[in-house]
């Protein structure tokens, strides 16, 4: 069994990793860390993890064969550095190694990068786009929750060259995307039965979207207008994406482009009816639906995923599976929980 650790297990992404890894057939979760919760049992912080409980320590205490970091950006690279130096494979849930352009990273995150030299070796963790590179790297930058859905929704169209280079990403997220934090603005009474747009002046996930879609485009950079929204639900991201068609394509053409692009994918599914977020609850699925508005010459592509699943933790497990040569679906077989 492969020995695995989770740095910062106490956030929602960290706890979701612990939940999934507990039943993974190829790994043993041997060490979990947390700062304020150090010394506590995992089940004290998360009673649902009773069966997976272990002592939370300040640092990874066992030697591990792979490490996940669910720390915030900057803190994550700082802690991962020594693991990477030691050749321990790492999956970084944070944003630290996602952006290939250092100035872009530093201007959006307003920090100096703790180990910029590793940016180049990191692979952006969307197996649907970078599977072969993930197999060969020791450092995967797990993508942001919003970019995962946006990139998967638009990648087939951008690669096929059927849309113009300005796209709109209107994403609606459940509140768990904001993390496990004691902030008034994420209080139940503030958010229940309420809906709003935020980050209208720009969101850090925008450059990730542009980077990945631009890399697929043969027509130059893709500019993304991204507006995230907060929906009164716990999990789930629904992204609705709009792009002007640059070619005269039919719905049948679009269907074929999308179907072919994801033909062999275990988790990215082109679906026959508009998906809803709850169809992915607790799973690693990303559901994609693309349609043409003919009168407007516009592609509308919708994606649905669980922000803590394919948007964070289970995507990390999928990346680990690819890196370590496990069955790609190992530990990720549980079907979504509905209703």
Q: Which of 48, 135, 247, 259 binds a second copy (CB under 8 A)?
A: 48
Distance, CA of 141 to CA of 200 (rounded, Å) = 26
- Name the segment binding a second copy (CB under 8 A); options: 74-82, 154-162, 164-172, 311-319: 164-172
Give the count of residues interacting with a second copy (CB under 8 A).
83
273 binds a second copy (CB under 8 A): yes
Applying CB under 8 A, the span of 26-34, 42-50, 71-79, 84-92 interacting with a second copy comes to: 42-50
Read off the DSSP letter of residue 200.
T
In whole angstroms, what is the distance from residue 74 CA to residue 228 CA? 23
Position 196 contacts a second copy (CB under 8 A): yes
Question: Does residue 145 bind a second copy (CB under 8 A)?
Answer: no
The verdict on 24 binding a second copy (CB under 8 A) reads no
SS3 292: strand
Q: Which residues are catalytic?
A: 145
Residues within window 274-313 making contact with a second copy, judged by CB under 8 A: 274-283, 287, 289, 291, 293, 295-296, 298, 300, 302, 304
Q: Does 201 bind a second copy (CB under 8 A)?
A: yes
Yes or no: say if 284 and 310 are a contact pair by the CB < 8 Å rule. yes
Enter the tokens of residue 22: 């507990």
Dmax over CA atoms of the chain, in Å, equals: 62
Closest by alpha carbon to 225, among 210, 211, 212? 210
Residue 328: how many other CB atoms lie within 10 Å: 18
Q: Does 36 bind a second copy (CB under 8 A)?
A: no
32 near a second copy, rule: CB under 8 A = no
Separation of CA 43 from chain center: 25
25 belongs to the binding site for a second copy (CB under 8 A): no
Closest approach, Cβ 33 to a second copy, in A, equals: 19
Interface pick for a second copy out of 105, 242, 258, 326 (rule CB under 8 A): 242
Distance of CA 58 to the CA centre of its chain: 25
Say whether residue 269 binds a second copy (CB under 8 A): yes
With contacts defined by CB under 8 A, name the span among 69-77, 123-131, 146-154, 232-240 that binds a second copy.
Answer: 232-240
Question: Minimal distance in Å, beta carbon 137 to a second copy?
Answer: 29
At residue 83, φ and ψ (nearest 5 deg) are -65, -45
Work out whether 186 is an interface residue with a second copy (CB under 8 A). yes
Backbone angles phi, psi at 6, to 5 degrees: -125, 120
What residues contact residue 192 under an 8 Å CB cut-off, 6+ apart? 232
Task: Indicate the residue among 97 and 261 with the shorter CB distance to a second copy.
Answer: 261
């Amino acid at each position: 069994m492969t020995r695995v650790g989770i740095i910062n297990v106490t956030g929602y992404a960290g706890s979701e990793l612990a939940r999934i890894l507990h039943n993974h057939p190829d790994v043993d979760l041997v060490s979990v860390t947390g700062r304020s919760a150090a010394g506590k049992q995992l089940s004290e912080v998360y009673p649902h993890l009773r069966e997976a409980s272990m002592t939370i320590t300040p640092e990874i205490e066992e030697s591990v064969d792979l490490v996940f970091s669910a720390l915030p950006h900057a803190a994550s690279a700082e802690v991962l550095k020594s693991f990477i130096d030691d050749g321990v494979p790492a999956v970084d849930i944070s944003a630290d190694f996602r952006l290939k352009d250092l100035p872009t990273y530093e201007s959006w995150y307003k920090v100096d990068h703790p180990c910029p030299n590793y940016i180049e070796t990191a692979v952006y963790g969307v197996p649907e786009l970078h599977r072969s590179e993930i197999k060969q790297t020791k450092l995967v930058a797990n993508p942001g929750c919003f970019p995962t859905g946006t990139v998967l929704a638009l990648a087939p169209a951008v690669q096929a060259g059927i849309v113009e280079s300005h796209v709109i990403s209107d994403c609606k997220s459940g509140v768990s995307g904001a993390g496990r934090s004691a902030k008034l603005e994420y209080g139940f009474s503030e958010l229940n039965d309420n809906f709003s747009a935020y980050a209208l002046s720009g969101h850090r996930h925008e450059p990730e979207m542009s980077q990945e879609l631009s890399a697929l485009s043969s027509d130059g950079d893709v500019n993304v207008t991204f507006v995230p929204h907060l929906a009164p639900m716990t999990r789930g991201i629904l992204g609705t994406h709009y792009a002007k068609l640059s070619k005269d394509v039919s719905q049948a053409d679009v269907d074929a482009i999308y179907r072919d692009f994801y033909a062999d994918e275990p988790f990215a599914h082109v679906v026959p009816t508009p998906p809803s977020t709850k169809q992915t609850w607790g799973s690693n699925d990303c559901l994609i639906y693309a349609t043409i508005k003919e009168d407007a010459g516009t592609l509308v592509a919708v994606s649905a995923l669980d922000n803590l699943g394919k948007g964070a933790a289970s995507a990390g497990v999928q990346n680990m599976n690819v890196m370590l040569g496990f069955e790609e679906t190992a530990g990720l077989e549980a079907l979504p929980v509905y209703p």
